[in-house]
Chains A and B, each alone.
Chain A
Amino acid sequence: MASNNYDVIVIGAGVVGSLVARALSRYKLRILLIEKESDVGAGTTAANSAIVHAGYDPVPGSLKATLNVAGNRLWDALASDLDFAFDRRGDYVVATGEQEIPHLRALVERGRRNGVLGLTIISGDEMRHREPHINPGVSAALFAATGGICDPFAITVAAAENAVMNGVTLLLETAFEEFVIERERIVAVKTTRGTFGCRWAVNAAGLFSDEVMHHAGVRPEFTITPRRGEYLVLDKAEITIETVLFPVPTPVSKGIVVAATTHGNIVIGPTAHEIDDRQDTEVTRIGLEQVWQGTAKLVPGLDRRHVIATFAGLRAAGNARCETPGVDYDHDFVVEIPQNVAGFVNLGGIESPGLTSAPAIAERVVQMLKDAGERLEERPDWNPVRPARPRFRDLSRQEQAQLVRRDPRYGRIVCRCETVMEGEIVAEIHAPIPARTYDALKRRTWLGTGRCQGAFDTPRVVSILARELGLSPLEVTKKGPGSELLVRPTKSGAGMVGRE
């Protein structure tokens, strides 16, 4: 079956898999990107600190250090090509008390060894001047000019869309089951939607990357230990923090961060708890309390009444030994073409700084394929540019007026807190990767993320999704099958008052 055969199958459409698929779409390859969830970027990608790290934190000599610094440099060009929110506004590591200042110097030194540019130590006064709401007890701070913030889902959907625009086939709700291996070569991938032949399979399965590589017979000792991080999101009306504030790190964690988001809120977190269940993204009373206590060290004035959302994400923490001689580090990324099976690109343990590193990982995958003898021929028609669709709230009044004239649906409000119009929602439902669930629309347009958390928009979004997709409202889901929002019509029948 020729139509079921691909040159490359990428397993997992998180930020890494989507960027790998996009990087490979530049070449004359038939590429399939599979994802078990109902949308791209639905796992670890969607729930993290949304920070593009400068690179002073990873252990020098590790793959994490190399790919962090290399990845950080790729973000500007990528944001310009793919038109997603990225803002290199710098980050700070904040020392309180004299005893923490030596830690800053150690970080500067580590950053220099990692090749990070633009690291300076500023005084407590200067820090208080730059972020007036900071703990007045700040003694000094490390400023990293190359740190930034982004919308991690936005880069992922943009990359996946650009891949699809360049011919990649994306199959959602398609879970990896096993490899078909013949003569020590992967020749096909079995999924919940059938078997697909391939010459190369790329493991970008994130939290499940250990299981996938074990199916290929690779690194049987490698395991992912999910480490849950809980977060709180604060309302825009809260005091403003312009950048990213880290405490002085501990041996196990970068600590509780207070960070601006590209959407104008403040996010605080994460905790770090090892758990067994790879899907357990519950938030806990204890975890949220830890976030508050950690936050008080950095910005004591934050007010609990301004919390508008809580969430938790899982870090795909691995146990791979760093392969650089002389570096003693046991939690490095795995980015390799293993020796013991052919046709396999293995990416595993991509935890923080995985988001920052993802563009560099994608480039390295291309290089590894070339090094493995793959003749990659560029497609003359490859288009690296993906324009974002208009966001009503970001436009000038004049542009808004023009947009409504062109398409009156941009004049109808659906989400009042975030000012999302019906036209934006319809555009996302008919985009290169159609948004088919409530959460898919939420992540793309930011509807339902404000103070009312969807109380106003949900009934409206359900009816728009049903209308545009030709579904009954009973079939509309929050995040795919099993998450239907409604259970049956009322006794007097649907649309009693009758609108739309």
Chain B
Amino acid sequence: MAKRTVDVAVIGSGPGGLAAAIAAKKEGAGNVLVVERDVEMGGILLQCIHHGFGTEILGADLPGPAYAQRFEQEAISLGVETLLDTMVLDITPTRQIVAASESSGLLEVQARSIVLAMGCRERTRAQITLPGARPAGVYTAGMAQRFVNVEGFVPGRRIVILGSGDIGMIMARRLTFEGAKVARVVEIMPFLSGLMRNYVQCLLDFDIPLQLGHTISRIIGRRRVEAVEVVQVDDQWRPVPGTEEIIPCDTLLLSVGLIPENELSRNVGVALDPVTGGPYVDERFETTMPGIFAAGNVVHVYDLVDWVTEAGYVAGKHAARFAAGDRAGQLDYVRLEAGENVRYVVPHVLTRDQLPGESIKLQMRARQPIEKPVWVELRDGEKRLIRRAERYARPGEMLTLVLPERSYEDVRQAETLTVNVLER
């Protein structure tokens, strides 16, 4: 088995991984290695040929592959090494990586620090208990996206989409361009789960109906999907008898959520948050295993790629510092808690004595939509540290609260900080 040693190993070359590699290199890491299981870098961005990437941090509206290319080129020009078409099979707590590839067989990499950047996967049919038959023609939206945008094949002619996630809405438009008829998008929640801009640009503009508060109660068809049964749900998400409607279609796309991809993390012993599905991290994106960092959708599912890139920068920088041996002993943490109308907040903890020399972004998702002005606030019990006004809060759109350096003294005094999203 081939063996080598690196300072920072990054697993995955999507936007989080590329940013981590760039930041690690800029922070002075000697050799930085990115391991990518696909034949080129960029991760899921490569199949996202629609626009909308880079508006926040590049001031440009790019398609996914172009966004990826910018960071790929920067990484290569900085001397980041890559192993493509290579799958990481295992990581050890002492940060040894075992990987397999067609070109170099099995190989072992000893890393001083690791950045996990495996991204996320799509929730499947079984996870939402979708009854009925099991014919061909049931795909996750991302799988359909790969078929259309990468392989060059259309998976169906008449399509129903379950879930108003972003990939589903984007695929509704994409498949319409390809001449397919998207009969309907069905969403179980009483509100949109993806971005409003995707609703407008992908559904409204193409007259594709969105049906909130409904779900699919049955898939019909032996060999290929022939129809689906749509049903209204009550406030407990139970089907309302008598509201069933049969919609003929040959394809059902599922856009019912994303789950961070953490098999490697779990196997190595990184503690995972059951709410986000990703590792518990501090503000430097270090996990519960020393020297193992995590960045991007592997931590929690973001709405915009720009924020994934930012997170990658933070993780990569601190991974490089760890690799250089820049590490105080035992860390002491201040806990961050999801308070009123907050499903989760990342990071989960702040290091009491290691807070970085710049502001920290706290990112969270609201539980329920509030379609009027809100406060996003951070509290230490009765004491409010900071707050920020937003025009609304929607579960589909991440909320951010910037913790400025001037608040660090308050943070250090606290045991637990709470984030709330309140009506103004």
Interface residue ranges, A against B (CB under 8 Å): 232-233, 237, 279-285, 287-288, 304-305, 307-311, 397-398, 400-401, 404-405, 408-413, 416-417, 419, 421-422, 451-456, 458-459, 462-463, 473-474, 477-497, 499
**B59 interface residue per 8 A CB criterion:** no
Which residue of chain B has its CB nearest to the CB of A488?
A: B154
Assess whether A452 is in contact with B132, with CB atoms less than 8 Å apart. Answer: no
* Docked CA distance A454–B223 (Å): 17
Alpha-carbon distance A451/B258, docked complex (angstroms): 12
Chain B min CB distance to A261 (Å):
15
B128 to chain A, nearest CB (A): 9
Q: Which of A285, A307, A413, A496 contacts B150 (CB 8 A)?
A: A496
Given contacts A480-B223, A485-B155, A487-B157, contact A452 B135 (CB under 8 A): no
Q: Which residues of A contact B126 (CB under 8 A)?
A: 232-233, 307-310, 453
Contact of B156 among A401, A479, A487, A494 (CB under 8 A): A487
Q: How far is the CB of A458 from chain B (nearest CB, A)?
A: 6
Indicate if the CB atoms of B136 and A478 lie closer than 8 Å. Answer: yes
B152 pairs with A411, CB closer than 8 A:
no
Structural contact, B132 and A453, CB atoms closer than 8 A = no
Closest residue of chain A to B218, judged by CB? Answer: A282
Q: Of the 9-residue stretches B102-110, B304-312, B368-376, which lies at the interface with chain A?
A: B102-110
Contact call A279/B152, Cβ cutoff below 8 A = no
Give the complex CA separation of A497 and B147 in angstroms: 11
Whether the pair B152, A493 counts as a contact (CB closer than 8 A) is yes
B143 and A401 contact, CB distance less than 8 A: no
- Residue B246, interface by CB 8 Å: no
**Smallest CB–CB gap between B143 and chain A, Å?**
5
Could you say which of B104, B152, B156, B239 contacts A285, with CB atoms under 8 Å apart?
B239
Interface: B50 (CB within 8 A): no
State whether B105 touches A404 (Cβ < 8 A): yes
Assembled-state Cα–Cα distance A84/B253 (Å): 36
In the complex with contacts A400-B106, A411-B106, A480-B223, A455-B127 CB distance below 8 A: no
Query: Which residue of chain A is the closest to B108 with respect to CB atoms?
Result: A397
Residues of B within 8 A of A288 (CB): 129, 131
Could you give, for residues 265-283 of chain B, a 1 whenever the CB lies within 8 Å of some chain A CB and a 0 otherwise? 0100000000000000000
The minimal Cβ–Cβ distance linking B167 to chain A, given in whole angstroms, is: 11
Name the interface residues of B103-141: CB closer than 8 Å to any CB of A: 103-106, 121-122, 124-127, 129, 131-137, 139-140
Q: Which residues of B contact A411 (CB under 8 A)?
A: 100-106
Contact: B103 with A474, CB < 8 Å? no
Q: Which 9 A-B pairs have the closest CB atoms?
A: A478-B136, A482-B223, A494-B152, A413-B87, A483-B223, A453-B124, A401-B106, A483-B136, A404-B105
In the bound complex, how far is the Cα of B126 from the Cα of A284, in angstroms? 12
B101 engages A489 (CB within 8 Å):
no
B153: CB under 8 A from chain A? yes
B195 within 8 A of A: no
Chain B binding surface SS class: mixed
Which one, A287, A459, A482, A491, contacts B151 given CB within 8 A?
A: A459
Can you list 16 A-B contacts with CB-CB less than 8 angstroms, sorted by A residue number? A232-B126, A282-B132, A282-B133, A283-B132, A288-B131, A307-B127, A411-B100, A416-B263, A421-B100, A454-B143, A455-B140, A473-B151, A479-B223, A483-B136, A490-B148, A493-B152
| Chain A residue nearest in CB terms to B272 | A237
The answer to whether B121 touches A455 (Cβ under 8 A) is yes
Closest to A492 in B: B152
**How far apart sit A139 and B102, CA to CA, in the bound complex (Å)?**
54
Cα(A490)–Cα(B121), bound, Å: 25
Specify the chain B residue showing the minimal Cβ separation from A481: B223
Beyond A237-B266, A416-B37, A496-B149, whether A458 also contacts B143 by CB under 8 A is yes
Partner of A485, one of B121, B136, B177: B136
- Give complex CA distance A14, B125 in Å: 28
- Output the residue of A281, A283, A411, A473 with the most chain B CB within 10 A: A411
Are A311 and B134 within 8 A (Cβ)? yes
| A487 B250 Cβ-Cβ under 8 A | yes
State whether A497 touches B129 (Cβ < 8 A). Answer: no
Q: Which residues on the A side are within 8 Å of B217 (C-beta)?
A: 285
Residue B189, interface by CB 8 Å? no
Chain B 198-241, CB-CB to A under 8 Å as 1, else 0, gives: 00000000000000000001110011100000000000000100
Asked if B178 CB lies within 8 Å of chain A CBs, one says yes
In the complex, the answer to whether A459 meets B143 with C-beta atoms within 8 Å is yes
Write out the residue numbers on chain A whose beta carbons fall within 8 Å of the beta carbon of B328: none
Residue of A nearest to B158 (CB): A487
Q: Which chain A residues lie closer than 8 Å to B331 at the CB level?
A: none
Bound Cα distance A167, B256 (Å): 49
Partner of B131, one of A285, A405, A453: A285
Please, which residues of chain B bring their CB within 8 A of the CB of A419?
89
Extra contacts besides A401-B105, A412-B87, A483-B135 (9): CB < 8 Å: A282-B131, A308-B124, A310-B126, A411-B106, A412-B102, A413-B87, A416-B87, A458-B139, A485-B136
Closest beta carbon of chain B to A82's beta carbon, Å: 28
Among A310, A397, A421, A474, contact of B98 (Cβ-Cβ < 8 Å): A397
Please name all residues of chain A whose beta carbon is closer than 8 Å to the beta carbon of B133 when the two chains form the complex: 280-282
B1 within 8 A of A: yes
> Quick check: B224 and A491 within 8 Å, CB to CB?
no
Most buried by B among A309, A311, A480: A309
Q: Is the CB of B102 within 8 A of A459?
A: no
Complexed CA–CA distance, A400 and B87 (Å):
13
Asked whether, in the complex, the Cβ of B266 is within 8 Å of the Cβ of A489, the reply is no
Q: Per a CB cutoff under 8 Å, which of B85, B132, B147, B224 touches A482?
A: B224
The 8 Å CB contact of A486, one of B46, B154, B259, is: B154
Q: Are B151 and A478 in contact (CB under 8 A)?
A: no
A409 and B127 contact, Cβ closer than 8 Å, known pairs A459-B146, A488-B154 = no
* B 280-304 contacts with A by CB, 8 A: none
A405 engages B149 (CB within 8 Å) = no
- Give A416 to B259 CA distance when docked, in angstroms: 15
Asked if residues B239 and A455 are in contact (CB atoms below 8 Å), the reply is no
Q: Are B143 and A499 in contact (CB under 8 A)?
A: no
CB–CB A451/B121 < 8 A = yes
Q: Whose C-beta in chain A lies nearest to the C-beta of B121?
A: A452
